[in-house]
Amino acid sequence: MSYALNHTNRKLTLEPKITVNAKIIVVGASSVGISFLKTLVFCSHLKFNNLTLISTHGLPGKKLLDTEQRKFLASDHCFNDKDYALMSLCSWVNVVVGRMTGIDRAAKHVVLSTGEIVLYDHLILCTGQQYQVPCPTGADISQHLTNREVPNSSQRRYTGKVPCNHFTLNEEEDCFKALTWIRSNSITTEDGGVASVLFCR
């Protein structure tokens, strides 16, 4: 079992900390967001009482991914599961599980997909890299068009039905869903691994 070893001394114990009651909201549990919260939590001379993280699935590292599942995620190797466990940000940060859908700068609050409103004094947006479902261009492939000739716009978004065998892997939860689908719709080996040939619907 992993453990955390915290060391303190007399100087740090007797040193008064300045209390900061400002409501600080971090949106997104990306590496930047986690690093920002870690810096505030472990600041030696400041104590932040109102730190809030808004994330679709809460804090990362809740589910320990094995080697097979970890291959699905693109990682910058800033934090691993052991780092998340040793930081124990859940002890210092209020976690709101949800998706932010709007910001009211005048009233200083954010709106979640559930309609809930969260007030803030300082808002930090760290949503990280988000992969999106590719949008078909509608080009006629029989014309053999080049990339320059195909109409393309950064504002295009795919709003149709996503096929059951298409997965956008942004978070741990997405990897679990993809792996579950692959295991139930493919040939698995005797040791539980997934064979190289997959038969997808």
E strand or H helix at 20, and its extent? strand 18-20
pLDDT tops 90 at residue 177 = no
The CATH number given to whatever domain includes residue 94 is 3.50.50.60
Establish if 190 belongs to a structural domain.
no
Instruction: Give 49-62 pLDDT, tens digit per residue.
Output: 999 999 988 887 76
Stretch 65-76: mean pLDDT, rounded?
61
Grade residue 1 by pLDDT with cuts at 50, 70 and 90: low
In this predicted structure, what is the pLDDT of residue 191? 57
In this predicted structure, what is the pLDDT of residue 121? 96
Number of separate domains in the chain: 1
pLDDT tops 50 at residue 197 = no
Establish if 186 belongs to a structural domain.
no
In this predicted structure, what is the pLDDT of residue 120? 96
Establish if 96 belongs to a structural domain.
yes
CA distance 103 to 192: 46
In this predicted structure, what is the pLDDT of residue 175? 78
Nearest Cα neighbor of 23 from 128, 127, 107 is: 107
pLDDT tops 60 at residue 169 = yes
Tokens of 73: 């995620």
CA distance 165 to 162: 8
Nearest Cα neighbor of 18 from 37, 44, 57 is: 44
Are 166 and 133 in contact by the 8 Å Cβ rule? The answer is yes
Range 183-189 contact pairs with CB under 8 angstroms and sequence separation of 24 or more: none
E strand or H helix at 11, and its extent? helix 10-14
Stretch 75-98: mean pLDDT, rounded?
82
Stretch 178-184: mean pLDDT, rounded?
82
pTM: 0.67
Instruction: Give 104-148 pLDDT, tens digit per residue.
Output: 999 999 999 999 999 999 999 998 776 766 677 777 778 777 777
Establish if 146 belongs to a structural domain.
no
Q: pLDDT exceeding 70 applies to what percent of the chain?
A: 75
CA distance 201 to 198: 10
Establish if 182 belongs to a structural domain.
no
Establish if 34 belongs to a structural domain.
yes
pLDDT tops 70 at residue 38 = yes
Tokens of 118: 């969260």
Among 18-22, 74-78, 158-162, the minimum mean pLDDT is found in 74-78
Range of the domain at 59: 10-128
Establish if 120 belongs to a structural domain.
yes
Establish if 66 belongs to a structural domain.
yes
Cα 95 versus chain centre, distance: 13
